[in-house]
């Protein structure tokens, strides 16, 4: 069974696509029709793929494409967290400058000649 197709169908299912639409997408992309149907039937039965042994001898349960997808998602989540924290800091500084404008200006006046 083609693990790449199975992994792709599983991702499509997790994202809310129907099994038929996901299978059609793989077939339209040029994948072998019988392999797509086999993977789709396997996934519809509710089985998870068996671990496979790579050439190096390590056991892999997930296709490399899924690992890259998860790494990309983690990267996007990290970017959003950093963006949110920076935005909150900037908003806090601006609000404090607006609220304490007089005190800020008096400090600046006392520092400058």
Q: How many separate domains does the chain show?
A: 2
Question: pLDDT, tens digit, for every residue of 14-54?
Answer: 888 888 888 898 899 999 888 888 888 888 776 555 555 45
- Report yes or no on whether pTM surpasses 0.75: no
Please report whether residue 45 resides in a domain. Answer: yes
pLDDT over 90 at 91, yes or no: yes
Q: Are residues 56 and 79 both part of a single domain?
A: no
Please report whether residue 70 resides in a domain. Answer: no
Q: Are residues 58 and 79 both part of a single domain?
A: no
CA angle 16, 17, 19 (to 5 degrees): 125
In degrees and rounded to multiples of 5, residue 94 shows phi and psi of: -65, -40
Q: Are residues 53 and 11 both part of a single domain?
A: yes
The predicted pLDDT at position 94 comes to 95
Q: What is the rounded CA–CA span in Å between residue 98 and residue 92?
A: 10
Please report whether residue 94 resides in a domain. Answer: yes
3-state secondary structure of 58: coil
Q: What is the rounded CA–CA span in Å between residue 7 and residue 18?
A: 15
Please report whether residue 69 resides in a domain. Answer: no
Q: Are residues 46 and 82 both part of a single domain?
A: no
């Amino acid at each position: 069974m083609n693990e790449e197709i199975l992994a792709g169908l599983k991702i499509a299912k997790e994202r809310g696509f129907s099994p038929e639409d996901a299978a059609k997408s793989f077939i339209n992309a040029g994948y072998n029709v019988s392999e797509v149907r086999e993977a789709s039937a396997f996934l519809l039965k509710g089985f998870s793929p068996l671990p496979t042994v790579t050439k190096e001898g390590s056991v892999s349960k997930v296709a490399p494409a899924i690992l890259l997808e998860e790494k990309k998602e983690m990267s996007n989540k990290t970017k959003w967290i950093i963006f949110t924290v920076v935005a909150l800091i900037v908003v806090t500084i601006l609000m404090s400058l607006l609220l304490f404008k007089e005190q800020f200006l008096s400090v600046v006046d006392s520092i400058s000649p």
